[in-house]
Amino acid sequence: MDINAYIESGILELYVAGQLSEKENQEIYELLQAHPRLLQEVLEIEAAVVKLTAAVSPHSIDFDSFKGKLTSTDNSEKKVVVMKPKKPNWISYTGWAASILLAGGLLWTLNNNKELELEIQTAEIENAYLEQQIEDARTDLASTKDLLNTLRDKDILAVPLGGQGKFANSYAKVYWNKEDNTIYLDGQGLPDAPEGKVWQVWSLKLNPLTPTSLGTIDDFNTDDNKIFAIANANESEAFGITLEPEGGSESPTMEQLYTLGVVPTAP
Amino acid sequence: MTDLDALISKFKNMDEVAFEKLYYMYHASIHGVILNIAKNNKVADDLTQDVFIKAWNNAETYDAKKGRFFTWILNIARNTAIDKIRSKSFKQSRANLDAKNFEHIITSHESLDSETDAIGIKDIIKKLTPKRLKIIELLYFKGFTQKEASDHLKIPIGTVKTRSRDSIRELRGMML
């Protein structure tokens, strides 16, 4: 055992003060027999306390001044009191039994009460969490409704972008609101952009083929619904999406053209 | 077995000479502790005698496995003093008392006997911080449990332990 740590813990000071349980006292007694250093420490603590407490006493009292009282209690005058067997006192027994029951009941109630309070606390915390979740769900719902309303608008033009070449599995959709010059790109069918790359959206004129960058989607990987509103004031005839190095490119890298879709001509 | 152990063992066998030696080792401490609780010299004198008479009459019940002899008699002293100050007769005479604690009692002594003078106890007491004086008062003079001291001082129970350790260590350092 670590004697130093044991001494430093302060348990020996409490031992001398008489503030430990009977079990702890017994343990320390055994340790003191085995470790002279611990015993020495206890003796020193005790000596300090004895000196300090003694300093409070203003005068000494002579042992002889009460020696007389001592012998009288000890020797001949020690009276023998004959104990008569007591008759059982049923009223007192019942009284005791009742008070013990009552005390037990009180303790039980007290304990129950504590537990209930704890449960209420837990429930309150859970409630707070649930309220937060409902709040979040409501916000989500509201934004989803907004989105739906936007996409259902009669002026919206839907442009499906199909997968190109080796990226045939990819797809995307553009919803174009010519009124407010905005496209909503739904990138659900695109994989996350790999490290160091970004998705870049292009507006295209077909004759001759002229790409105009609509910008990169920097937050693609972290976005939840993968729907992005992008400003587009061009007379677009088609939309394409390419994977470009971070920061985007001047013109689309055709080998990295994932999806492409032509804007349907108005009937 | 130390000399003290031998003395205590004789005391348990009702050896009056051994008891007298133990009395002179500890009676001032017991008197001091009682005075700090009862705050009355006359009462403290009487109670100190009561404590040693109780100790004598219960000598065979002392068990070294359960704690130090000093701790045992200290406990008897506190209980005796606390019983007294709770008693009706004592409450009626309370008007005579002041609320000074042990540090005030020590520092206001006009004269200290040569042994305590030698260690300069007044100066030592003045050097201890109020926090340390307080924990010593609660644990050693008043017999507060760790829990009671922690509630009373509004500090964690672990702090009671370390603070009493620090306080006694400082005291020991200065008494050397």
DSSP A191: P
CATH at B34:
1.10.1740.10
Judged on CB neighbours under 10 Å (0-12, 13-18, 19+), A186 is buried
Q: Judge if A201 and A166 occupy the same domain.
A: yes
Q: Judge if B106 and B169 occupy the same domain.
A: yes
Q: Domain count for chain A, please give it.
A: 3
CATH at A234:
2.60.40
Which phi and psi angles does B32 have, rounded to 5°? -65, -45
pLDDT of res. A157: 87
**Closest residue to A19, CB basis, from B33, B49, B139:** B139
Contacts of B152 (CB under 8 A, 6+ apart): B138, B144
Question: Is the pTM of the predicted complex or chain greater than 0.80?
Answer: no
Q: Judge if B83 and B143 occupy the same domain.
A: no
Q: Judge if B89 and B160 occupy the same domain.
A: no
A58 and B109: CB-CB below 8 Å?
yes
With CA atoms as reference, report the closest residue to B28 among A62, A66, A54, A50.
A54
Residue B104 touches chain A, beta carbons under 8 Å: no
- What is the CB-side half-sphere exposure of residue A24 using CA atoms within 13 A? 12
Q: Judge if B116 and B63 occupy the same domain.
A: no
A83 is a domain residue: no
Q: Judge if A160 and A257 occupy the same domain.
A: yes
Range of the structural domain that residue A18 is part of? 3-70
A86 is a domain residue: no
What is the SS3 assignment for chain B?
A: CCHHHHHHHHHHCCCHHHHHHHHHHHHHHHHHHHHHHHCCHHHHHHHHHHHHHHHHHCHHHCCHHHCCHHHHHHHHHHHHHHHHHHCHHHHHCHHHCCCCCHHHHHHHCCCCCHHHHHCCHHHHHHHCCHHHHHHHHHHHHCCCCHHHHHHHHCCCHHHHHHHHHHHHHHHHHHHC
Residue B157 touches chain A, beta carbons under 8 Å: no
**3-state class (DSSP) for residue A203:** strand
With CA atoms as reference, report the closest residue to A200 among A209, A210, A190.
A190
**3-state class (DSSP) for residue A244:** strand
Bridge partners of A8, per DSSP, are none
At B105-145, the pLDDT tens digits run: 777 766 555 454 555 777 888 888 989 999 999 999 999 99
Q: Judge if B91 and B18 occupy the same domain.
A: yes
Range of the structural domain that residue B89 is part of? 1-97
A53 contacts on B by Cβ (under 8 Å): 28-30, 32-33, 74, 102, 140-141
- CA gyration radius for chain A? 45
A181 is a domain residue: yes
A195 is a domain residue: yes
Residue B30 touches chain A, beta carbons under 8 Å: yes
pLDDT of res. A82: 59
Q: Domain count for chain B, please give it.
A: 2
Q: Judge if B175 and B147 occupy the same domain.
A: yes
A65 and B49: CB-CB below 8 Å?
yes
Last residue of a domain, one of B75, B97, B119: B97
Q: Judge if A179 and A143 occupy the same domain.
A: no
Q: Judge if A196 and A233 occupy the same domain.
A: yes
pLDDT of res. A72: 46
The CB density around residue B14, as the number of other CB atoms within 10 Å, is 13
Residue B61 touches chain A, beta carbons under 8 Å: no
Q: Judge if A110 and A169 occupy the same domain.
A: no
Last residue of a domain, one of B97, B124, B148: B97
Q: Judge if A99 and A56 occupy the same domain.
A: no
What is the C-alpha to C-alpha distance for residues A33 and A44, in angstroms, rounded to an integer? Answer: 16
Q: Judge if B87 and B167 occupy the same domain.
A: no
Q: Judge if B2 and B53 occupy the same domain.
A: yes
| Per-residue pLDDT band at A76 (split at 50, 70, 90) | very low
B23 contacts on A by Cβ (under 8 Å): 63
DSSP A249: -
Q: Judge if B32 and B64 occupy the same domain.
A: yes
Q: Judge if B32 and B58 occupy the same domain.
A: yes
Q: Judge if A169 and A258 occupy the same domain.
A: yes
A171 is a domain residue: yes
**Complex ipTM, two decimals?**
0.90
Q: Judge if A106 and A18 occupy the same domain.
A: no
Q: Judge if A246 and A167 occupy the same domain.
A: yes
At A206-254, the pLDDT tens digits run: 888 899 999 999 888 888 888 898 998 888 899 999 999 998 899 899 8
A56 and B106: CB-CB below 8 Å?
yes
Q: B174 vs A49, A171, B25, B161, B169, CA distance in Å?
A: 13, 85, 21, 20, 9
CATH at B116:
1.10.10.10
Q: Judge if A176 and A241 occupy the same domain.
A: yes
Residue B117 touches chain A, beta carbons under 8 Å: no
Q: Judge if A110 and A136 occupy the same domain.
A: yes
Total beta-carbon pairs less than 8 A apart between chain A and chain B:
151
DSSP B140: I
At A121-141, the pLDDT tens digits run: 778 877 877 888 888 888 888
Return the higher-pLDDT residue of A171 and A65: A171
Last residue of a domain, one of B97, B114, B141: B97
What is the chain A residue with the closest CA to B56?
A70
Amino acid at A111: N
For chain A, the first-to-last Cα distance in angstroms comes to: 93
pLDDT of res. B139: 94
At B140-160, the pLDDT tens digits run: 999 999 999 999 999 999 999
